[in-house]
Structures are given as structure tokens and as C-alpha cells.
Structure 1
Amino acid sequence: MSNLKKLAGQTAIYGLSSILARSINFLMIFIYTSYLNREVVGSFTGIYALIGFLNIIFTYGMETSFFRFSTGKNLDPKKVYNTTQSLLITTTLIFGSGVFLAAPWLAEVMDYPNQAYLFRWTALILSFDAILAIPFAKLRLTNRAIAFAGAKMINILLNVFFNLLLIVWIPILISNGTMPASFLGYNLEWGVEYILLANLFANGLIIPYVWWIAGFFRFSLDKEILRPMWNYAIPLLFMGLAGVTNELVSRLSFEYLLPENFYPGLNTREAAGIFGTSIKLAILMNLVIQAFKYAAEPFFFGKAADKNSPQLYAQVMHAFIIFCSALMIVISVNLDLVALLFPKNKGYDSAFFIVPVLLMGYLLLGIYFNLSIWFKITDKTNYSFWITLVGAIVSLIAVFTLVPILGYLGGALSTLMCYLVMTGLCYYFGQKHFPIPYQTGKGILYLLLAFGLSYAGFYFQLDSFLLSFIAKNSLIFLFILVIGFSERAQLIEFLKRKQLR
């Protein structure tokens, strides 16, 4: 239990910072939907899907490799840090230059004529992200959760400041005559340009601070460290590419697959903006998964040599499923409250019905992350590639088949189907190579119950808004009661142990 407490404590710190940071970031969606048109929001969805995909190439699994070789290979952690950071800086220069030079081609392919500058800025954002990856990983490895959380918060606040400055404050000052329209070359026609610039400025300014708190490195490419790290990381790169294909392919391709006039009054880029906004509403599930991942990855590796680690991993998984299932219900039954924060005349709430599907998909992704520990600690990372490749194929087939027919729902179902297949495969092979006593039956029942209650709460409505709110949220307590009854034996045992102490 003390191990679970330690993990929970670390997750709480990462989670608190992530909740604050992502909540602030989440609020930017309301800024974008209020001050920018739907087409700009669609551009934001598409370009940031591309950034998410390329980000995997720029870091190519080196964060996980850094954890593995800093903790379990009898190597000097400082040498591992120096080598990993040096390698990433070298490859970032290569990859960043490639994207920068390919900007005109990317602008043409993604239908942004005469806007190659957008993709040159994208190259810089990706480069800044990559050279920050290992310093942030070092803070996690050394259990400096507060320093990590502080740096992340500063980065988010800088991003928010520049977004507000460029999208809200300067246009207001220009409109009331306080500032000349040509101030510093400001362009009132720009939209997604300022979202990218805000991100670029925020990431660039945080680099010196993160390098300072993590500890500066000495440029070194130690071949004895590089070769095994490279062999370990390459399967993770392909796993990451397949995984990000699963996560982002629907966002990246939605506007190009959706037939014209599928949704009356919307062009395909506007519809993509509405679809992307609904995906953002599932951000809380991703937030919990990310916070958990930050704490759990070094924790899992640190406990790998413990003979009781399988039981510990099973306990972590069970607690994760219960918590995230409850969270799915909380978000789903309160989507009508969230809808009040969006401009009613822009129709963003028309796709909210896909949010429970997306939440379940991301919950399965979190379960997959828990399951994936078996191939990470047994150095069988080649399995990760094949599993995520199958997931990517499922995702691509689903997107190309379902989006033209079902629109928003087709994109959401592609996410759910992909992670369901990946989770099943990872569980099957994991139990063969590194058996862990998961409470599989209970876990599946909890997931199905939570999904059913989520949709019941989403569609249930009464004439009174207050009574409707109470009735919807009573489903959360119903779920908790079911869990309490099902887990009563474990709860009694836990309370007895507390009394003995």
C-alpha cells in the first residue's frame, strides 16, 4: 500500500500541475471559438494534429530509453543524460531543417496556399519541443515533480499570455483607436498564425530555464551507450508513429474525408473545427492519463526488480480503471453545462454526442499504457510496434470508411475501435510473456457500466434544469455505490490494516 501511496502522491503533483495547466489551456478553446471563426478553429485542429504526429519523429522514443538506461543497465546516469540530449539536439537540427525546407510542399498538400510560413513556424515549435524532452524527463526520473510541474506551468502561462495578447488584447486596442492598425506589422486577418506564434514564443522562452533547473549537459555521443539505446528506441519510434496515427489521423484527415455539404451550412474545414472542439472536451481523460504516465513510468521501472511487482501493477491497474470510469461519467453527464460556455450561434455543441465515445477510447489508451509495462521491462519493445501497427491499420480503415458515412461519430468510433484492439492484443501477449494478476472480469464490467451510465446521463433531460442536473449527477453516486459493494472485501481488509497500524 505504501508503494501505491507514493505513486498516488507523485501522480497528484503531476496531476495538479497538469489540471491547472490544461484547464487554462482548455479555456483557450473558448477564446478561439469566441474570437476566431470556425474555419480558423478547423485550421488549428489540422495543423496541431500534424505537430502531434511529427513530434513522435523528433523524439523517437528517447524519453522511455532514457528512463530504461538510466535505471536498469548499470550505466552512469550523467553519461546517459549527456549522450541522450546530445543525440536529440543533433537529430533535431536535421529533422527541423527538413520540415523547414518542406514547408512550401506541406502548405500545398494541406491546402494552405501561399502560407508556407505556417509550416516553417511549425518546424521551430517541433524543434523546441524536442530539445526540452530529455531535461523534462530527467526531472521526472529524479523525482523532482514540483520543479517539473512549475516549469510546465510557466510554459502554459506564457502560451496563454501570448494568445490573449495577439488574439484578444491587440485587436481591442486597435479597434478603439488606442493602437495604430499597423502596430509592429500586426495583421487583423490572421488567426491560426497567432496561435502558432504564441506557442513558438512560449517554448522558446522556457528553454534556458528548463535546461538550468535540469542541469546543463556536456555534448557527448558515447557509442557504447548509443548503440543499445538506439536498438531499444527504434521499436518505440514505430510504436509512437502508429500510436499517434491512431490518435490524430481522424483530426488530420477529417476535413479531407468529409463530403461537401455533409453538414448543412458548414464547409469541411468548419466541420473539422467543431469535431476538434469535441475532441478537446475529452481532454480531462487525457490529462489524467498524462499525469499518471509522468509518475508511473519511472515508478514502474523502479519496481521492475521487485518480486511482488506483478501484484503491484495489478493493483495500480484496478485503481486506475475505477477512477477513470468515474471521471468518464462525471464529464459525460455534465456536457450540457459545458455547452453554455460556447457561442450558441456557432453550433459547437452539435458534436457533443461523440464525447462519451472519445472518453472511452482515451480510457482504453490509459489501460493500454498500464498493460504495456510488460514489454518495456522485458526489453521486448518489438511487440509495441506490431501492436500499434495493427491499431493504426484499424484506425485508418475506420476513419476512411466511417467518416464519409457517419461524420463526427465515424471519427470518434475510429479512436474507440483502435484502442480497443490495441488493449486486447497487449493484454493477450502480456499474459503470455509476463503474467500479471489483473482483475480482468471486474474491470470490463466497470467499463461497460460506466459507458452505459455516461450515455444515459448525456441524453436524460427533465423540464427543470436543476432537477435534470441532480438526476444526471446521481448516476455518479450510483456507480460509486456499485463499486463500493463490489470492492467491499478489499475495503474491509484495507480498514483493518489501518487500525492495526
Structure 2
Amino acid sequence: MGLLKKLAGQSAVYGISSILGKTINFLLVPLYTGYLAKEDLGSFTLLYALIAFLNVVFTFGMETAYFRFATGKGLHPQKVYQNAQSLVCLVALLLGALLYMTAEPLSLLFDFSGKSHLFQWSAMILTIDALMAIPFAKLRLEGRSLSFALVKLLNIVLNVGFNVLFIVVTFHIIQGDILPQLQTWVSSWFRPDWGVDYILLSNALANFLILPLLWKLVGGWKFELKKVVLLPMWQYALPLLFMGLAGVTNEVFSRGLFEYALPDGFYPQLSSREAGGVFGANFKLAILMSLIIQAFKYAAEPFFFQQAESKNNPELFARVMHWFIIFCSTLMVAVAVNLKLIGALFFQAAGYAIALPMVPILLMGYLLLGVYYNLSIWFKITDQTKYSFYITFTGAVVTILVILTLVPVLGFIGGALSTLACYLTMVIMCYYTGQKYYPIPYQTKKGLVYLTVSFLFSYAGFLWDTGNLFVNFMLHNGILVVFLLLIFLMEKKELYLLFQSISKQKNEN
């Protein structure tokens, strides 16, 4: 129970930063939908899909390799950190320079004629992200979750602040609504035709400002490339690189490929790029599930490695999985039954709610991604990372096939189904291979019950409409209460033991 509390505590700290950060980021949805054209949101969706894909190349699996070799290979953690950070810095600077120099042909390839600066700024974002990756991993390994969270949150606040400045404040200055004394000066540099441009510029500036703070906080790094350290790390990380590429294909290619897979005129009121913007905006409504998964991953990965040598770790991993499914299933129902209300609050322009029916599918997809993160620990602690490539590559193939076959037929729903189908495939493959090579006593039947019932309840709450806003709210959240009662009935014994343990600890203190 103590180890579970430790994991939950660290997840909570990571979660608070993620929740605050993502909430702040989430507030950009009404800003973007209110101030930018749908075509700009389509460009934003495509460019950030490319950035997410290349981010994996820039770090090439070295974060997980750092965790593994700094905790269980007999090497001094600082020596591992210095070599990992040195190699990542070298590769990131070389790749960043290459991307910067090829910005012009890339802008033509992706139909951004005259905007090569978007790819130059993307190169800067990717390079600085990579330079921060191993220092952030070091904070996680050392259990400095509060420092990690504060730096991440500061980065997000800066990013959002620049977005508000460039997209909102300058717009109203130009219109003469505020600070008229600055109108002439702002007009001299403000570009009214820039939309996604200012989003990328804000990201690049925020990263640039946060990098020296993070490096100073981590400290103690000198450039060092030792073959004896890096060769086994590279051999461990290489399958993770391909896993990451396949994984990011699963996660973001549905957004990046959507506008190309959607037939012209599928939605008469939208161009393909505008439809991609609507798709990307609705994707953000699944952000609550995404941030919980991210917070859990931040805490769980170093935690699992640190517990790898314990003889009780299979039972511990099974309990972590069980409560993870319960928590995330509850969250999915809570979000889905209130989805129309959430959409009405955050979409500040007409034409976005058309894609809302896909969001419960995305919530389940992200939940399954979290299940996969739990399951994947077996090949990480047994050094069988080759299986990660097989599994995620299969998931990537499923993603692309579903996009190409279902998006032309089902539109937004087809794009969401690609995410669900991908992670469901990965979960099934990882579960069966893991149980063969590293058996863990998961409560599989209970987990399947929670996943199935929560998905059905989510859609029931989303689709049930009485025509009365208040009645809808009460009925929809009544479904959530019923789900909580189901959990209580199924977990009475476990909850009793949990409360008994808490009471005992309070009495001892």
C-alpha cells in the first residue's frame, strides 16, 4: 500500500502540473476558435502532427534508456546522464540545422508556399525540446516531481502568454479597442495574415526562455561521449526509437492525415483543411484523459524501474493497473456525459460541434493507451524492447489502414476510430505476449467489465437528450452516479481494506 501511495502521490504532483497546464492550454481552444480561421486550425493540426513525429527522432528513445541504465546496469547515474545528454544534444543540433536549411522545400511539399519560416521555427522547437528531454528525465528519476512540475507549468504559462499577446492583445490594439497609443507601433510589425505563425512563434519563444532555467536547476553536466556507456544504451534505445515512431504515428497521424484522406466536399460547408481544423479542435476535448495518462506515465516509468528487482512487483503492477482502469473509466464517463456542455463553453464559433460524437471514442482510445503503458513495463524491465517495435508498428499499420478506409466513409468518426482501433490492437498484443514472457496477475475480467460498461455509459449520456438543459444535466450525471455505485459494489472488500489501512496509519501517527 505504501508503494501505491508513493506512486499516487507523485502522479498527483505531475497531474496537478499537467491539469493546470493543460487547463491553461485548453483555454486556448476558445481563443483559437474565436480569433483564427478554421484553415489556420487545420494548419496548426498538421504542423503539430509533424512536430510530434519528429520529436521522437530528435530524442530517439534515450529517455527510457536513461531510466534503465541509471537504475539497473551498475553504472553511475551521473555518468549515464552526461553521456545521454551529450549524445541527444549533438544529434538534436545536427537534425535541427538540417530541418532549418530545408525549410523552403518542405513548405512547398506541405502546401505552405511562402511560409518557410514555419518550418524554421519548428526546427527551433524540436531542437530545444530535445535539449530539455534528458534533464526533465533526470528530475523524474530523482523524484523531484515538484521541480519538474513547476518548470513544465512555467513553460506552458509563457507559451499561453505569448499566444494571448500575439493573437488577442495585438488584434485589439490594431482595432483601436485598447492602448491606442501603441497602435502605430504595433501596426508596423503585426501581420494580420499570420495565424498558426504566431502559435509556433509563441512555442519557440517559451522554449527558448525556459531552457537555461532547466539546465541550471539540473546542473552538473559536461559533454562526454563514452562508447562503453553509449553503445549498450543505443542498442537498448534503437527498438524504442522505432516504437516511438510507430507510436506517434498512432497518436497524431490521424490528425495529420485526416485532411488528405477526407474526400473533397465530404462536408459541404468545409474545405478539407478546415475540416482538419474542426477535427483537431475536437481532439482537444479528449485532453482530460490525455493529461491523466501523461501524468501517470511521468510518475510510473521511473517508479516501475525502481521496483523492478522486488519479488512482489508482479502483484504491485497488477494493482496499479486495476486502480488505473477504475480511475480513468470514471473520468471518461464524467467527461462524456457532459460533453455537449463542455463543447458549448469552449467552441466560440459555429461549425465545431459537428465533430462532437467522435470524442467519446477518443476518450476510450486514450484510456487504452494508458492501459498499454501499464502493460508495456514487461518488455522494458526484461530488456525485450524489440517487442515494443512489433507491437507499435502493428498499431501504426492499423491506424493508417483505418484512416484510409474509414475517413472517406465516416469522416470525423472514422478518424477517431483509427485511434481506438490502434490502441486496442496494441493492448491485446502486449497483454498476450507479456503474459507469456513475464506473467502478471491482472484482474482482467474486472478490467474488461469496467472498460465496456464505462464506454456504453459514456455514449448513453452523450446521446440522451430530453430537450431540457437542466433535465439533461441531472440525467447525464445520474449515469455517472450509477457507475460509481457499480464500482463500490465491485470493490467493497478492497475499499474496506484501503480505509482500514488509512485509519491504522493515522492512529500510529
Q: Which residue is equivalent to 1:491?
A: 495
Q: CA deviation at 1:99?
A: 1.2
SS at match of 1:340: helix
Residue 197 (structure 2) aligned to one of 175, 193, 209? 193
216-225 or 47-56, larger mean C-alpha shift: 216-225
Quote the residue 2:300 is aligned against: 296
Q: Which residue of 2 aligns with 1:144?
A: 144
Alpha carbons 2:34, 2:348 under 8 Å: kept = no
Q: 1:38 and 1:229, CA in 2 relative to 1: closer, same or farther beyond 3 A?
A: same
Q: What is the aligned counterpart of 2:325 among 317, 321, 324?
A: 321
Deviation of 1:110 (Å): 1.2
Q: How much is the aligned-residue C-alpha RMSD, in angstroms?
A: 1.2
Q: What amino acid maps onto 2:133 in structure 1?
A: A
Q: Secondary structure at the match of 1:346?
A: coil
Deviates more, 1:170-179 or 1:455-464: 170-179
Structure 2 CA distance for partners of 1:365 and 1:87, relative to 1, 3 Å: same
In structure 2, give the amino acid aligned to 1:264.
P
Q: Which residue identity is paired with 1:105? A: P
The AA in structure 2 aligned to 1:485 is L
Who is 2:276 aligned against? 272
Which of 230, 254, 258 is matched with 1:254 structurally?
A: 258
Residue 440 of structure 1 pairs with residue 444 of structure 2: yes
Q: Give the drift of 1:108.
A: 1.5
Among residues 240, 243, 251, which one is paired with 2:244 in the alignment? 240
CA distance in 2 between partners of 1:318 and 1:182 (Å): 55
User: 2: CA distance between counterparts of 1:199 and 1:364?
Assistant: 29
Equivalent in the alignment of 2:133? 133
Question: Is contact 2:33–2:348 with CA below 8 Å preserved after alignment?
Answer: no
Return the TM-score normalized by structure 1: 0.98
Counterpart CA distance in 1 for 2:469 and 2:353 is 17
User: Match of 1:326, as an amino acid?
Assistant: T
Q: What runs of 5+ residues in structure 2 fail to find an aligned partner?
A: none
Please say which of residues 298-307 and 179-188 is displaced more in the overlay: 179-188
Aligned pairs (5 A) from 1:4-153? 4-153=4-153
Q: State the aligned residue count.
A: 501
Q: Which residue of 418, 422, 429 corresponds with 1:425?
A: 429
Q: Which residue of 2 aligns with 1:305?
A: 309
Instruction: Verify the 8 A CA contact 1:332 1:355 in the aligned structure 2.
Output: yes
Within 2, Cα distance between the matches of 1:9 and 1:460?
A: 37
User: 2:34–2:349: 8 Å Cα contact kept in structure 1?
Assistant: no
Shift of 1:300: 0.4
Assess if the C-alpha contact under 8 Å between 2:30 and 2:348 holds in 1.
no
Q: Contact 1:174–1:181 at 8 Å: present in 2 too?
A: no
Report what 2:223 is aligned to: 219
Query: Which residue of 2 is the match for residue 355 of structure 1?
Result: 359
Q: Deviation of residue 346 (structure 1)?
A: 2.4
Q: CA deviation at 1:180?
A: 1.5
Conservation of the 8 A alpha-carbon contact between 1:330 and 1:473: yes
| Structure 1 stretch displaced more, 107-116 or 193-202 | 107-116
Q: Quick one: distance in 1 between partners of 2:293 and 2:186? A: 44
Q: What residue in structure 1 maps to residue 214 of structure 2?
A: 210
Q: Is the 8 A contact 2:286 2:363 kept in 1?
A: yes
Name whichever of 111-120 and 181-190 sits farther off.
Answer: 181-190
User: Do structure 1's residue 451 and structure 2's residue 475 form an aligned pair?
Assistant: no
| Percent of paired sites with the same residue | 54
Aligned equivalent of 2:381: 377
* Contact 1:34–1:342 under 8 Å retained in 2: no
Alpha-carbon deviation of 1:496?
4.2
1: CA distance, partners of 2:405 / 2:385: 31
Q: Distance in 2 between matches of 1:307 and 1:262?
A: 56
1:381-400 to 2 correspondence within 5 Å? 381-400=385-404
